């Protein structure tokens, strides 16, 4: 099974980590956990959110 880390450069991995961190921090600031929100795993974030962003 291929891992996203196998396909990304160092710079892309850093950008992914930064974007995922922002995703989690935004949820914290918006108190999404209080309404039952759960974060997606990094793989799903990469497939569904990260690749759609203008980088």
Cα separation of 7 and 25, whole Å?
Answer: 26
pLDDT of residue 52: 67
Render pLDDT for 3-55 as a digit per residue (tens, 0 to 9): 777 888 999 999 999 999 999 999 999 999 999 999 999 989 998 888 766 55
Contact between residue 14 and residue 22 where contact means Cβ atoms under 8 Å apart: no
**Count of structural domains within the chain:** 1
pLDDT of residue 7: 85
The gap from C-alpha 5 to its chain's centroid, in whole angstroms, comes to 13
Q: Nearest to residue 50, comparing CAs of 15, 25, 24, 5?
A: 15
Domain ranges, residue 9: 4-52
């Amino acid at each position: 099974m291929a891992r996203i880390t196998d396909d990304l450069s160092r710079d892309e991995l850093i950008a992914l980590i930064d974007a995922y961190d922002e995703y989690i921090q935004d949820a914290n600031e918006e108190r999404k956990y209080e309404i039952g929100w759960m974060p997606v795993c990094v793989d799903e974030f990469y497939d569904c959110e990260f690749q759609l962003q203008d980088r």
